[in-house]
Amino acid sequence: MLSNNSKYHPSIIAIAIADFIRGFTRYPLWILISIYLLTVRHMGYLDIGIIFLLQSVFTVPFSIYGGRISDISGRRGLALLMPILLLFTYLAFFFVVYRNLSIIAVTAMMIVISILNNVQYNVGNSILTDLSSESQRLNSFSLVRVLSNAGIGAGLIFSGFTAILNPAYFFLAPVFGSFIEIFIIFRYVPESLPKTHELGESTRHVFSLRKDRVLILVSLVLAFSGLFSSMFESPLLPLYLTSRFDYPELQITALYAVNTLIVILFQFRVNALSRKIGEVYTYAIGLIIYSASYFIFGVTGIFGILLVNAAMLTLGENMTSQFSQVFISRIAPENRRGEYFGYSSAIFSFIFPFSPFIGTLLLQIFHPHPLLLWGIISAACVIMAIISLTLVRVIPKPDAAT
């Protein structure tokens, strides 16, 4: 295990680089597909929200069993298998979009991609937890997040320019990205399952509402917080900016690129703050900043102000996003890390998918009243900030975690 002052494990750096590739090649797709469904396939806001809802709901059983498999048979096998399957799935997705095939085909591709991405995400979290000490874990997850956002920023700019020619062209990017990921994982990410882990040990543990109540509480608070705080990463914001202000893809992706720049510049500074005031308090303050930023979206549509607002929103994101993984890693027993991340992800998949549905529903109802639309979301973030303070009692500090 690494000491407090040691450098990152080489495999953590490799995973962070792989996340850079994923951010560059995959993240812009949800923005492009939202605009594609609205402007090319002429779907309604609520219909688009339902598709995104289905995309996430179907991941629930795979989140649970993927985590258990990684605890029993190891992480490396699944870590290698996922990008291989995603390579072929993204290739099929490009064909479906490029040829404007049926909405059923588009939805099916989105569901399969969501399932594979979710399993890959949970396995990656387990590997990061295995390879990092308690005191280094926040910075390890943050390193991955920073490089992921660097990739997202580059990908958003690149996708904005490709959208001028044909948005469908960018759907090939994840195909090449998955190929690079396969090489990185094969070459630099060994099996990380602890050597002290007994074969089949995790199978003796049965998930219990009573015994695992801390996991349930933490996951519910994080999921409901994310339900509202992550509205900017749902179809709501791009659909709102497109339909109300006629902003083109290039301007919308530029707005999200500012988001990634702030992550890169300030993430580790926020980590230093969390060590001073506490991780849970940092999380609650982040939700308050989210609230203020969403309120501003309802006040103005001036693009320059929106750029500054996106920067402020990202400060809130810096204070909350990485803790979704860090809090679970703090409470997870060593022999059940994959299972804990899997169950937490499953709870997220029951709640978080309603974010695009709620967002598009609010947009359809309150489109003429933006202050009311964004005010509801802003108020919800304040409520969750207050509720999140209950986690102070159950999240161990870095030097006392399991």
Q: What is the pLDDT of residues 88-136, one digit of tens each?
A: 999 999 999 999 999 999 999 999 999 999 889 888 888 888 888 777 8
Q: What is the pLDDT of residues 68-82, one digit of tens each?
A: 777 777 788 889 999
Q: What is the pLDDT of residues 82-93, one digit of tens each?
A: 999 999 999 999
Question: d(Cα 222, Cα 390) in Å, to the nearest integer?
Answer: 12
How far is CA 216 from each of CA 126, 233, 296, 386, rounded to the nearest angstrom? 18, 24, 33, 18
Sign of the dihedral defined by the CA atoms of residues 342, 182, 263, 51, in that order = negative
Q: What is the pTM of this model?
A: 0.75
Closest CA to 55 of 78, 77, 29: 29
pLDDT above 70 (res 263): yes
State the pLDDT confidence band at 322, using cuts at 50, 70 and 90. Answer: confident
End-to-end CA distance of the chain: 14
Tell me if 353 sits within 8 A of 53, measured CB to CB: yes
Q: What is the pLDDT of residues 347-402, one digit of tens each?
A: 887 787 788 889 989 999 999 999 999 999 999 999 999 999 999 988 887 765 44
Q: What is the pLDDT of residues 329-355, one digit of tens each?
A: 888 887 777 778 888 888 887 787 788
pLDDT above 70 (res 200): no
Tell me if 316 sits within 8 A of 191, measured CB to CB: no
State the pLDDT confidence band at 204, using cuts at 50, 70 and 90. Answer: low
The DSSP code sequence of 55-116 is HHHTTHHHHHHHHHHHHHH-SHHHHHHHHHHHHHHHHHHHHHHHTT--HHHHHHHHHHHHHH
Angle of the 27-39 helix axis to the 103-131 helix axis, nearest 10: 160
pLDDT value of residue 6: 47
Q: What is the pLDDT of residues 123-169, one digit of tens each?
A: 888 888 888 877 788 888 889 989 998 898 888 888 878 877 787 88
How far is CA 309 from each of CA 198, 225, 319, 398, rounded to the nearest angstrom? 50, 20, 16, 32
pLDDT above 90 (res 234): no
Question: d(Cα 59, Cα 30) in Å, to the nearest integer?
Answer: 17
The reply to whether CATH 1.20.1250.20 applies to domain 10-191+209-393 is yes
Residue showing tokens 């709102």: 240
